[in-house]
Amino acid sequence: MLLTLLAATGFALLRIRNLFAVVMLAGVYSLLSAGLFTVMDAVDVAFTEAAVGAGISTVLFLGALALCGHHESKPGHTPLLPLFVVCLTGAALVYGTMDMPGFGEASNPVHHHVADHYLEESYGEIGIPNVVTSVLASYRGYDTMGETTVVFAAAVGVMILLVGGARARRARGGGEEG
């Protein structure tokens, strides 16, 4: 049900040309996917998606739109080639899923590699009930550290792009408008 709703939102995203509405729909899309994550037991992920996707990301998009204007012009070329490429890729992916195990079966191979260890041993080794937190911060602490660094690097990148640009414009006498 939620999935169908998501598909409809995705399709609307494709058609609408007013970027303002697109950004709002993207927020709705995020919220729907957060609901879907809750249904599929990923409460931590749902929480993050709701806070990030529907909250901060919408605010950032709106900030960018305020700077850039919100009209998208009609694409000049025919959509046939992209459509063909997309259909081909989609067909290949659907063909790939034919070999995949069914949704939600406990015997799927993905559940029997390290997940068993996390679920059975982590309370003795770490001592906290939320397995997601203990895997995130302890077993995979290196991952999380690298990821924190990536987020920091992204902030540095944004700072270089936006702060440096402002300074350069001032140096040129604040002209270049329009």
Residue 21 contacts another protein per CB under 8 A? no
| Size, binding site for another protein by CB under 8 A | 117
CA–CA distance, 105 with 127 (Å, rounded to integer): 28
CA–CA distance, 4 with 7 (Å, rounded to integer): 5
CA–CA distance, 52 with 59 (Å, rounded to integer): 10
User: Contacts from 102-106 at CB under 8 Å and sequence distance 24+?
Assistant: none
Residue 18 contacts another protein per CB under 8 A? no
The residues in 63-122 that bind another protein, with binding defined as CB under 8 A, are: 63-69, 71-73, 75-76, 79, 82-83, 85-87, 89-90, 93-94, 97-98, 100, 102-106, 108, 110-111, 114-115, 118-120, 122
Residue 27 contacts another protein per CB under 8 A? no
Shortest Å, Cβ 144 to another protein: 6
Residue 125 contacts another protein per CB under 8 A? yes
CA–CA distance, 63 with 131 (Å, rounded to integer): 36
Residues 37-56, mask of contacts with another protein (x by CB under 8 A): x--xxxxxxxxxx-xxx-xx
- Residue 28: burial class (beta carbons within 10 Å; 0-12, 13-18, 19+): middle
Residue 24 contacts another protein per CB under 8 A? no
Residue 6 contacts another protein per CB under 8 A? yes
Residue 8 contacts another protein per CB under 8 A? no
CA–CA distance, 169 with 171 (Å, rounded to integer): 5
